[in-house]
Amino acid sequence: MPDNNVTQQKLFNRYYRLFIIPMIFLLYLVLSYLVNPYSKYWSLLFTRPWEELLTEWAVMMLICGVITEFSLISARWMDKRIPWEKWPLKRFIAQLFCQIVSVFILLRILTFVLTMIFGPPPDVSNNGPEKLDEWQFVFVCVMLSILISAVQTGNYLLQRWKTSMMEAAELKLNAAELKQIAMQAELQSLKLQLDPHFMFNNFSTLSALIEEDKNMALSFLENLSRVYRYMIINLHNDLITLREELKFIQAYAFLIKIRNGENVDIQTDIPEAFQSRGIPPITLQLLIENAIKHNVASTAQPLHIRIYINEAGTLTVSNNIQLIPTNMPSTKLGLQNIRNRYRLLSDQSTTIKEENGLFMVTLPLLDF
């Protein structure tokens, strides 16, 4: 970035000299006329010999060039020692003072040099109009010096602004990339939390089935591997379609039926139009597992779990509340997992509430 700025500044200075000196000369003529349009100089302008006029203009071009070079040098010197960013008021006063003083010094030096070359100028100490023209010339040169410095300073501040904007954009991009990496890492960590809870419950059931019914154990193991394969495949997916999740739930419901028989009733009612929307993978499995973990499910008190689209067009998972009496506090790991994943994936949040004897979790459907 700094090398690019240096290159741009060098190019600017090169073209600056190419165009600014003739422009400053023309501006000098305009300002001189505006300051005193009744000067004798203008009435005699077109009656003087062209050689004398060209010589005078060449000298004035030289003066404009010297003023331009000194303005650039002094501005660069001050950029290092009194930068605008740190001391704007101090820099403004110092630069203005430097420009005024330097013009007087430069004009004295140029007058001395020109006197050595062309001889002394006529004495105008007692000539009011000529003395006025001399001071007007000095005034115009000071104004030109300030203008040159202002243009150079404006370019410097513009380059600094562009650099700051590019650096800010780069920092913002880096921050976004770091945030994305952090989000992915957190998502992976949250997803991995699912496995111990899931596997513990189902391996316990499988262990019991092996002793009771080996054929059923084989069928259970086959469906368990199918479910677990789904979880592995979607470990690196932040979103899947609701259709895929429902197919997974159908396989998972088989495991639930083996584990709980008719004590757990799982029903789904999802219109086809909503099944192409997105949902974090394994979300429904977590909610079903959570309902079974915390509620009584027996022949006398069957647990009814319903998955449906509510009137607001969002996905709802509900179950009747019949809590298992226990002194063990709930970790609420499953619900927190779902909340965290929605927080990372969108600005929409889940809603959890109890109403009319039902525990309901509302999940926004996301777009890919």
In terms of pLDDT, which residue wins out, 249 or 100? 249
**What pLDDT score does 278 carry?**
93
Pairing of strands 240-241, 278-279: antiparallel
Angle, CA of 164, 169 and 171, to the nearest 5°: 95
Rounded to an integer, the average pLDDT of 230-239 is 79
Bridge partners (DSSP) of residue 351 are 362
Residues 6+ apart with CB under 8 A from 368: 239, 278
Residue 92 identity: F
- What digits encode the pLDDT tens for the residues 128-169? 555 556 667 777 777 777 777 777 777 777 777 888 888 888
Residue 41 identity: Y
How far apart are the C-alpha atoms of 209 and 216, rounded to whole Å? Answer: 7
Q: Which residue has the tokens 């303005």?
A: 71
Q: Is 75 exposed, middle or buried (0-12, 13-18, 19+ CB in 10 A)?
A: buried
How far apart are the C-alpha atoms of 104 and 111, rounded to whole Å? Answer: 10
Q: Would you place residue 71 in the very low, low, confident or very high pLDDT band (cuts 50, 70, 90)?
A: confident
Q: Where do the domains of the chain lie, and which CATH numbers do they carry?
A: 2-186 (no CATH), 208-363 (3.30.565.10)
Side-chain-facing half-sphere of 175: CA atoms under 13 Å: 6
The rounded percent of the chain whose pLDDT value lies above 90 is: 19
- What digits encode the pLDDT tens for the residues 291-313? 988 899 999 999 999 999 998 88
pLDDT at position 126 over 80 = no
- What digits encode the pLDDT tens for the residues 172-200? 876 776 566 556 655 655 555 555 666 77
Q: Would you place residue 119 in the very low, low, confident or very high pLDDT band (cuts 50, 70, 90)?
A: low
Angle, CA of 257, 282 and 210, to the nearest 5°: 35
How far apart are the C-alpha atoms of 245 and 270, rounded to whole Å? Answer: 12
**What pLDDT score does 215 carry?**
85
How far apart are the C-alpha atoms of 344 and 180, rounded to whole Å? Answer: 9
